Structure 1
Amino acid sequence: MCSRFLEGALGLALCALLLGGCEREQRDFTGPQPDTSGPAPSLADLQPGSLTAQPRDPRGAIYENNAYHIGQGQNLFRWMNCSGCHANGGGDSGPALMDDEWRYGGDIDHIFASIDQGRPNGMPSFRGKLPPEQIWELAAYVRTLSDNVRKDAVPSRKEGLSTTPPLTQKEPEPPKSTDAASTQDPQK
């Protein structure tokens, strides 16, 4: 029994010796601070309510009044579920796109920046999820929702399949008479 006690005491002393030999990490909480004098991270200079004149991106002119790109943007608007927040432009949890008040600017460059970089309180960034060409197409379509483009550039029809036959293939109906004599009861 004594040898067992001696082995236990020796094991305990060895553990205490090993634990005592460990040094705890020394942390200096008052040491030098990181250098913040370098350039700040580049963020968009576009802020709500401050629509300062900025140089226009030349790529915007390619997409802005081009019916093909606007049609592609309309498809992307549906495919990317933009209607889930913007309700086909009328606004829901996202802002309305059909009015003339644009928090971050209504130029195609500003709309591109909003889609590309995202905006606080809900608008996700699509940078890295969509190529820039598709973001420009989306921006071109969004501008059409508030009538900010030429009428000859706006597609006059949807690009998808139609489930109703065209009016030219329907049977013609006889014209309906609207004069007062035909609407009166002949019995009187």
Structure 2
Amino acid sequence: MSESRRLHWIAAAPLLCMLLIGAAIGWARHPRQYRADPPVTTALDQFKLMPDRIGGTPPDVYFSLGKPYEATAFDLSQGKRLYSWFGCSSCHGDGRGGIGPSFLDGWWFYGSEMVSVVASIRDGRPQGMPSYGNKMTSDQIWQLAGYVRTIGAYSAPYTAPSRNDDKHTRPSENRAPAAGLFEEGPAGVRSDRGVQP
């Protein structure tokens, strides 16, 4: 092999390595599922709530799927899009509250568990939270609930939704857990605010 040919291969080797590493990362990345299968959607709607409708048990299929609505950047980004699209910010603002309650102060009227948030979105709640069960698919409700939970998270999640293109009023969801923005309330239950996460 001639010297010039050998130098071309040496120069191309790092590029080839970077290309292979990029392909491996892309292959290992969590695949996007744009729509859940109908049996999965039906199973996701079969969760159980406590008698007071605060807290409950997610369906088994949610665990067998690996909690995708809380763990994948695609689902969190979709939830963020839905938060804007359905006008959640008109009541809850950027998570700090307003007409509706805050997600950041540590007090959740109906519990901070994923099932409680899904039930609040799907069925609505007294005193102002409308029902979105007939306006969103089951997938969308779970995606929105996953995003709402990242807004009020007390520890930074590993996955993050997409970045905002509009003016930032606070750091992004995975950079500023709620504990850094507000003091935690006293332990226990406040009758006016519900349970603490």
Helix, strand or coil: the match of 2:100?
Answer: coil
Residue 63 to residue 150, structure 1, CA distance change in 2 (3 Å) = farther
Distance 1:148 1:133 in 2: 25
RMSD: 2.5
Give the one of 141, 146, 167 matched to 2:147: 141
In percent, how many aligned pairs have the same letter?
Answer: 36
Residue 46 to residue 157, structure 1, CA distance change in 2 (3 Å) = farther
Identify unmatched segments of 5+ residues in structure 1: 1-42, 164-188
Give the equivalent residue in structure 2 for 1:114: 120
Displacement of 1:112 in angstroms is 0.3
Q: Which has the higher strand share?
A: 2
Distance 1:123 1:70 in 2: 21
Residue 148 to residue 129, structure 1, CA distance change in 2 (3 Å) = farther
Give the equivalent residue in structure 2 for 1:40: none
Do the aligned residues in 2 keep the contact of 1:106 with 1:143 (CA within 8 Å)?
yes
- Give the structure-2-normalised TM-score: 0.52
Do the aligned residues in 2 keep the contact of 1:115 with 1:124 (CA within 8 Å)?
yes
Identify unmatched segments of 5+ residues in structure 2: 1-47, 168-197
Number of aligned positions between the proteins = 116
Give the one of 51, 59, 69 matched to 1:63: 69
Give the one of 87, 90, 98 matched to 1:84: 90
Give the one of 52, 68, 82 matched to 1:47: 52
Distance 2:144 2:49 in 1: 19
Do the aligned residues in 1 keep the contact of 2:73 with 2:162 (CA within 8 Å)?
no
AA of the residue aligned to 2:78: Q
Give the equivalent residue in structure 2 for 1:17: none
